Structure 1
């Protein structure tokens, strides 16, 4: 049975939550009195559909159903999760909770996107305070995994664990903040940096663009994959964090910053900041800026994913949770599906379609999946046996664009002895996009020479090869590059 979530407030954050739940297979009900809510969420969802699926190398769950409701009572009826993302006014949030709890299930989790209020403040006056927790996200919610989960003693431990499980299920990282504190954890860091940036502008030291460049070209990239303390541990050299603190700790008493002294936001300072920001980014629309941001985040996150590090390790864990296991087909007579995925943003080139090298990667990934299906998995390879590709021929038949959901079907043309001859078809619905023909040789990783595969692999390969022998030879098989 498909799970459902309600989003109360469909602004930037609420829209991001809606996209995250929808694309992870949940049905989503939205309540927002704004007559433009449907349009705004639709635009956010378009961006999410274009970018989020490309973070996964497996097929995502079928997208849930999005509905809009005129009454909160209808939106929350029977849902498992309610995400409140209304404006940051405590009296408004408390009023919303009163209405929600009059109509929602008693075991529904009510999470608040608040960036500053403590959960005990939100729970004040609630019908069931134990239902309400802080679940503070970061924009864009559909790409960034961090959620600051802040409960109180009113929240039963089992409810907190259930909230963690749901957030993990939709690909988020729930950071359990064990003690209430204003602005939680992450926003306190951001506030400190923001205050210092205001002083640098006011004192004429730097412009908005120069400050942004100091972050995105320097420590921001380090923070993205190692955070603060792990970065500083490396800065301490072989002696580690202790040496770093001994060397740089005294700097904390030097008058480097004005973190405790905030400049007055006068009209002049506000104009100065706004004008500099317009000079920096005013040539791009909001949606263009969002797309540039999404492109960059996907590239960074996929790079981290390849290293299985930082947020990339979370993405790999999510793929492992939702991916289809590699098993021998129940009926080997048909083509074997070896890939089903969305085309990532970073697979496209200057022509706006998939780079030719990515066709090879997609077919290579399909080959790897087929190897796992017949038993040539990581354990087998670790024990010294594998297949090496000896020859490849790829035909590019149609353009492939970012966000397209492709699948690859594989036919075994030969599976005998040391040889494995595969023919892959890349499809978009019923359209043939490309074909990849590959001859592989089984090798011993110890001698790096051709060798016979293990008996179970040979038997599995022969089973599929024999079943595929009655299939017609695919169009394009055996062809070489040249004039037609």
Structure 2
């Protein structure tokens, strides 16, 4: 049964939440009186569709259904969860909760608030236990952190339900131990923001120079190791105690102005806005979002490969969805046929094109390899399996180039199982641009004992997954390219 979430407020954050739920298979109803809300959310969703599938090594679930409701009561009907993302005005949030709880008093409401405590949000509510903070970071559809913060009025069951919903959509729910204004992440950001504004006002640096100091230096470290683990390394072999002894005295030095803020006036606004326009004004907001998303995908994929930080969250989400997918295999196999499995989502990048502006030959094979690797992970022949001494080796490949792919094109890799036995996998890959196949690859793989250097039978745990897929694919039409030799005429 498809699950449903309601999004109240269709701005940048609300749109990100809608995309996160939709792409994880939930139906989503949105309420926002802004006449531009539908356009804005669909633009955010378009960016999410480009980015989020690139982080997954398991087929994405069918996208949920997106609807726009005329009333809150209509939006919340049939939902198990509401994410409130309206403006940071406490009186507006109270008004929204009153209307939501009038329509459905038992509904769980998570707030995207950047700073209000749950106890602030719950004031005047007839069911305060059902209102809790679930604070994300932008872009919501890529960054996994959700700060979950409740009050004494929230039961342990409410907190756990919120945590589980966050996990179900691939988030990392960080439960805040004690109520605190702005939670954890925003308190760090506020400190850095205040110091940055002082440096601007005092003429020490420009917006671009401050950003360069972050993205060329400590920002890269923080993205993988945070603050304390980074400083532990800085302490060398003696560790954190040595670091504290070495740099502790600096806490008394007048390096920062964190206890003070520059006056907020038109002069400060103009200073920041004008420098920001000079730094980034040549890009539109959607273009900046796509650049940001592409960079984040690359960084997150690297973390995923090393099973570290946010990459570990992505792996765990894949594992949960892989388990659910594998549990559905008997039902897939019992039908007369099944579609080829969608295993990879790719985009043609600048380094992929040749002097003609088309995707270069090696990248067609790369796309098929990515599709094959994702399939092998799905059936259990992943890197942990390889570390154990066994793997599938490619014995033969036949590629056909059917159409052109150009810079920026979105590609999908599918796999059809043509046959298998204990030692062999006979697969057919299609690299698709929309509904058009730009290339096909027929491939034979052998299951190998790497230490012995010879083909051996695959274990039952792999064959038990491959078998139902192959059985389901028997009903598919045999591709015309199967068994062709190089230079064979068509027809």
Tell me, yes or no, whether TM beats 0.5.
yes
The aligned runs of 1:366-445 (5 Å cut-off) are: 366-368=371-373, 381=386, 384-399=389-404, 403-412=410-419, 422-427=427-432, 431-445=436-450
Asked if residue 340 in structure 1 is aligned to residue 343 in structure 2, the reply is: yes
Distance 1:307 1:73 in 2: 45
Could you tell me which residue of structure 1 aligns to residue 284 of structure 2? 285
Structure 1 equivalent of residue 167 of structure 2:
168
Give the aligned partner of residue 70 of structure 1: 70
Deviation for aligned residue 1:144? 1.1
Unaligned runs of 5+ in 1: none
Q: 1:97 to 1:376 in 2, by over 3 A?
A: closer
Q: SS at 2:216's partner residue? A: helix
The 2-side partners of 1:239 and 1:304 are apart by 27
Which whole-Å deviations, capped at 9, do the CAs of 1:414-438 have from their partners, x for residues lacking one?
869x776654344567643322233
Equivalence map 1:49-448=2 (5 Å): 49-106=49-106, 108-323=107-322, 324-325=325-326, 330=333, 337=340, 339-343=342-346, 349-350=352-353, 356-368=361-373, 381=386, 384-399=389-404, 403-412=410-419, 422-427=427-432, 431-447=436-452
**Superposition deviation, residue 340 in structure 1:** 3.0
Q: What is the CA distance between 1:139 and its match in structure 2?
A: 1.0
8 A contact 2:346–2:367 mirrored in 1:
no
Q: 1:221 to 1:201 in 2, by over 3 A?
A: same
Q: Is the 8 A contact 1:53 1:403 kept in 2?
A: no
Q: Aligned Cα RMSD in Å?
A: 3.5
Structure 2 gaps of 5+ residues are: none
Q: 2:346·2:410 contact (CA, 8 Å) conserved in 1?
A: yes
* Corresponding residue pairs, total: 478
Q: Secondary structure at the match of 2:352?
A: coil
Q: Deviations over 1:258-303 (max 9, x none)?
A: 1112111232232222111111011111111111111111111112
Counterpart of 1:32 in structure 2 is 32
Q: Deviations over 1:58-113 (max 9, x none)?
A: 2211111111122112111231111111111111111111111100251x210111
2:411–2:434 contact (8 Å) kept in structure 1: no
Mapped to 2, the partners of 1:57 and 1:422 lie a distance apart of 18
Kept in 1, the 8 Å contact 2:3–2:27? The answer is yes
402 and 229 in structure 1: CA distance in 2 versus 1, 3 angstrom threshold: farther
User: Scaled by the length of structure 2, what TM-score is found?
Assistant: 0.86
Q: Is the 8 A contact 2:6 2:83 kept in 1?
A: yes
Write the distance in 2 (CA, Å) between the matches of 1:52 and 1:371: 21
Contact 1:338 1:410 in 2 (8 A): no
Q: 1:196–1:259: 8 Å Cα contact kept in structure 2?
A: yes
Q: What secondary structure sits across from 1:34 in the alignment?
A: coil
CA distance 1:228–1:402, change in 2 (3 Å): farther
One of 459, 474, 479 as aligned partner of 2:485 = 479
C-alpha distance in structure 2 between counterparts of 1:66 and 1:334, whole Å = 29
